[in-house]
A and B are shown apart, each in its own frame.
Chain A
Amino acid sequence: MNSESPDLTSIETRFGHFAGNPRDVVTLVEGLPGFEDCRRFLLLSSPSLEPLVCVQGLDDDRPAFLAIDPRLVEPDYRCRLDDLQRRRVGASLETPLLWLALVHVADGGESTVNLRAPLVVNPERMRGLQLLAGHDEYDTDHRLG
């Protein structure tokens, strides 16, 4: 685990330079499969990246991802949290939740989005989860563009 603290207000990522806010650090309470040693992720946005969001890992090898609100890809996209998952992110039934689906941009420029296993974040507590079987009707490599 890498313990040095980068300056989150001015952070260099694989996807460019961002002005971050320490309030936008989300803890994925069960980790991210494949990157189990990274729990803290900084959500970053910029006008040139919108509607994509950069999800920059802050621990271990600091993996960096792109993500998008799945409802911007499929307007009818709905996913439910069960009671246990809701408790794990500290959310009540009324808590508005932030949904993010990880995007993969291939070398040739073709891109896919994982609508099957979205991330859900409770913005009030900044705790999140990846729902491994969040939405069975979609694939992990849903065509994006």
Chain B
Amino acid sequence: MLVVTRKRGESIVVGDGIEIQVISLGRNGVRIGVTAPRDVPVHRREVYDLVVAANRGAATSAADSVSALASSLRNRVPAVVVVPSEVPDAPLRLA
């Protein structure tokens, strides 16, 4: 890991078009500004990790309980979601 000392207003350039700037230093943390190309997603690490964990969990869903879940949901929810090809000529509208 590259470790550098930066003062307020100073920045670091990463590759082509990514800049990380120290905006201010406070008692509770450092405010950082990130400038990146539109196609580079920028996320807080803990937010990203939370979603990674949730997605990995969701990818291991137990297949044998699914029909029972679907059936109990059908009794509870008022409408069903349709996949786009089932609405051939109109923009997709969900009930």
Instruction: Enumerate chain A interface residues (CB-CB to B < 8 A).
Output: 14-16, 21, 23-24, 30, 32-35, 43-45, 48-53, 63-66, 68-69, 71-73, 84, 87-88, 95-96, 98-100, 102-107, 109, 111, 114, 116-117, 121, 123-124, 126, 130, 132-133, 140-141, 144-145
Contacts and interface: CB of A to CB of B under 8 A. Distances in A.
A87 B37 CA distance: 13
B63 A15 contact: yes
Contact of A52 (B73, B85, B93, B94): B73
A23 B84 contact: yes
A53 B61 CA distance: 13
Contact of A14 (B54, B63, B78): B63
Contacts of B63: 14-16, 105
Contacts, number: 154
B3 interface: no
Interface in B65-80: 65-70, 72-74, 76-80
B13 to A, nearest CB: 22
Contacts of B87: 123
A16 B66 CA distance: 10
Interface in B17-71: 38, 41, 43, 47-48, 50-63, 65-70
Interface size of B as a range: 35 or more
B61 A105 contact: yes
Name the 10 nearest CB pairs between A and B, nearest first: A140-B54, A21-B85, A34-B52, A123-B84, A105-B61, A34-B55, A109-B65, A102-B58, A123-B92, A69-B81
B12 interface: no
B1 interface: no
B59 A64 contact: yes
A66 B66 CA distance: 9
A34 B54 CA distance: 9
Nearest to A111: B69
B51 A34 contact: yes
Contacts of A114: 51, 54-55, 58
Contacts of B78: 72
